[in-house]
Structure 1
Amino acid sequence: MSNAARADLLGPLLKSVSRSFYLTLNVLPGAMRDPVGLAYLLARAADTIADTSLIEPARRLSLLLALRAAVGGDRSEETAAAIRSIAGEVAATQALPDEKRLLETLDAALALLDELEPADRDAVRDIVATLTTGMEFDLQTFPSEDSGAVAALTDMAELDRYTYLVAGCVGEFWTKMTCAHVPGTFAEPAETVIARGVRFGKALQLTNILRDCAKDLRIGRCYLPEPLLTRHGLTVESMMAPDGSLRARPVLVELMATALAHYRAAADYTFSIPRLSVRLRLACLWPILIGLKTLRLLAANEAWLDPAHISKVSRNDVYRLVAGSTAVVCFDSVLRRWIERMMREIEATLGTTVIA
């Protein structure tokens, strides 16, 4: 692959489809950027395939599995034909030009994957395989978006497994990339740090699930386990009623408590990074701060299940968090007080105390 093509793939295209995550990618140590950025592009392409409601679910699943096979090294004509179908059939349905271009450049992304060092290539293949397993779960578990039906997860264990498949595994991948490319970063045993990294990812995914619950319900997906709803006298249908936000408040409180406990592990993960490893620290701090800000908005949102009132952190707030954390990134005591203050504010709004 030419240097220009590589630069475009991991530069303008990556920036255009990764939104706020690009801030994190951009501050990573140089050796980590290519494998992490490429993993993001491939996972984002897979997610776009899985979410393209104009294509019926069985076809989406077939193309998703073909992309997983291609990332895994399958270069058969059947898989190549499926990749061409993604670049044509699926790309043609995209309303956003950047999403369309991402799908049209899958061949280039796969070529770049082949050029990675073997250890990085294997790590990218593993993370994409796990992430696409989560997407496969979505397509096989929930009804078609236009069916009018809604399904919920079966229990808390299924929710925990799902948050691992679609985000916790990213914390694991991130930690392994750090250990490979910035050796000596963590003084603690690898298994301890990886476990915290997994909880880091789960914290972010639980935040996304709660933030997007209103929209997900209306396309047939309830990631809140049915036994949890039943315990609080709810059904998936009742959550979409006008008083759904109020009635489902205890569910929000319970799952936010779980998320906050995970964020405490994420903070421990971040503080285990040496203070002078500024780039790695910032890459972890920003999603924590944005995630906690999102939970703060959710805690105060009396209409959290109304799709017209989604709790989303504004761009200006993101910039303020980025600027503020950059200024104090090396000062553990200041950062700890900041994070603890945010957590206390959430707990106060919820009327709870979180146990890690």
Structure 2
Amino acid sequence: MKALMSDESHHERELGGQLLASVSRSFYLTLKALPRELREPLSLAYLLARTADTIADTAAVPEDVRLECLHDYEALVQGNEMDHDRLALTIRTRFVSLQGDEAERRLMERFPDGIAWLRTMQGGSLNSIRNVLHHIIRGQILDIERFPGDGQVRALSTARELDEYTWLVAGCVGEFWTEMCITELPTSLDSTVSLGQMKTWGARLGKGLQLINILRDIGEDIQDGRCYLPNGLNGPAELEAEWSQWMLVCQEHLRSGLLYVQHVADAKLRYATSLPLLLGLKTVARMKSATWAQVQKGIKITRLDVAMILAEAALACRSPEALEKLYRKMEG
């Protein structure tokens, strides 16, 4: 259930178009391809998550201020209005002018509008959005606490910490995505597979996509004082070996993601859901074929890669078998 259509249309038109496209980059392709019933709640959740991410990543703002803002933001998302004016003022005076990226500056400027959009949501959609934001913001708070930006390079201590982090900031999104499919488009998932199984596959897909970001940005993150790979600071050889081990974990997660997409019954939703999987898989292929020196400089796919995946996915998503064939070809 949602509020009046006029309110939905206004907020989605104002925030779910150019602003969302500018801050979501390739993921906007997925949001734009979604069935209408899912586009608004998933777009809103993504916009709110990106707002929290920008708060967490504005390193020029002192750590204690960012942590306080994230706690206030979490309270506001959960329905506590007491912190709204204070948080809006802090974001306007402390964060807006520090954004080097024009899209993120506009995102900070439109902070009150994102909260207003959230207020139009009701029922299961609202509860699911609040739940997923709770986990994402928790992950961002842990990130700041573990990597305080004091000039010292730190690494996560255990594989469990890394798995927890990837679930908090991305794996929970796979579960949220599944919940929204059932809530807004009940016939969109394969009825022969349990909801619990779909959530498990969806969570692993999310964790795999987050691991791609970590593996792709390994060099940049270490320069910024963060190493998400346990034992990654024990020496160059250990870092490369740890990276290779987590690449295997990442690929296993993505294979679960393939199962997830194959069991999406709605054709349009299957196409939209396949895009992050296939774009991530292409990034993995690029990393696997790169030298270690190239990996440390950062790996990205090209616009031509993206265009080819969009075209190939449109054909492959017509059946689970064709999708698996494309996946195996890209996997190499």
Which TM-score band applies after superposition, normalised by the shorter structure?
over 0.9
Higher mean C-alpha displacement, 101-110 vs 202-211: 101-110
Residue in 2 that maps onto 1:350: none
Residue in 2 that maps onto 1:263: 254
- The one-letter code sitting in structure 2 at the alignment partner of 1:164 is W
Residue in 2 that maps onto 1:61: 67
Residue in 2 that maps onto 1:23: 29
Residue in 2 that maps onto 1:9: 15
| Unmatched runs of 5 consecutive residues or more in structure 2 | 1-6
| Match status 1:317 vs 2:321 | no
- Cα shift at 1:69: 1.0
- Cα shift at 1:143: 2.6
Report the Cα distance in structure 1 between the residues aligned to 2:243 and 2:87, rounded to whole angstroms: 41
Structure 1, residues 92-144: CA drift from partner, whole Å, max 9, x if none? Answer: 11112221111111111111111112211111111111100000000111131
Structure 1, residues 275-328: CA drift from partner, whole Å, max 9, x if none? Answer: xx2221112211111111111111122135765x31111111111101111122
Residue in 2 that maps onto 1:335: 323
Q: 1:223 to 1:59 in 2, by over 3 A?
A: same
Residue in 2 that maps onto 1:298: 287
**Sequence identity (%):** 35
Residue in 2 that maps onto 1:186: 190
Q: CA RMSD in A?
A: 1.7
Residue in 2 that maps onto 1:281: 270
Report the Cα distance in structure 2 between the residues aligned to 1:306 and 1:160, rounded to whole angstroms: 22
Residues 186 and 193 in structure 1, CA contact (< 8 A), matched pair in contact too: no
Residues 214 and 305 in structure 1, CA contact (< 8 A), matched pair in contact too: no
Residue in 2 that maps onto 1:148: 151
State the TM-score, normalized to the length of structure 2.
0.93
| Match status 1:211 vs 2:211 | no
Structure 1, residues 324-349: CA drift from partner, whole Å, max 9, x if none? Answer: 11122113323212212333x2xxxx
Residue in 2 that maps onto 1:249: 240
| Match status 1:74 vs 2:65 | no
| Unmatched runs of 5 consecutive residues or more in structure 1 | 239-243, 346-356
Residue in 1 that maps onto 2:177: 174
- The one-letter code sitting in structure 2 at the alignment partner of 1:334 is A
**How many residues end up aligned between the 2 structures?**
324
Residues 58 and 95 in structure 2, CA contact (< 8 A), matched pair in contact too: yes
Report the Cα distance in structure 2 between the residues aligned to 1:73 and 1:299, rounded to whole angstroms: 45
Residues 88 and 104 in structure 1, CA contact (< 8 A), matched pair in contact too: no
Report the Cα distance in structure 2 between the residues aligned to 1:273 and 1:3, rounded to whole angstroms: 27
Alignment of 1:26-65 (within 5 A): 26-65=32-71
Report the Cα distance in structure 1 between the residues aligned to 2:120 and 2:287, rounded to whole angstroms: 43
Alignment of 1:121-160 (within 5 A): 121-144=126-149, 147-160=150-163
Residue in 1 that maps onto 2:100: 95
Q: 1:305 to 1:69 in 2, by over 3 A?
A: farther
State the TM-score, normalized to the length of structure 1.
0.87
Q: 1:326 to 1:2 in 2, by over 3 A?
A: closer
Report the Cα distance in structure 2 between the residues aligned to 1:322 and 1:306, rounded to whole angstroms: 25
Residues 143 and 151 in structure 1, CA contact (< 8 A), matched pair in contact too: no
Q: 1:154 to 1:341 in 2, by over 3 A?
A: same
- Cα shift at 1:81: 1.1
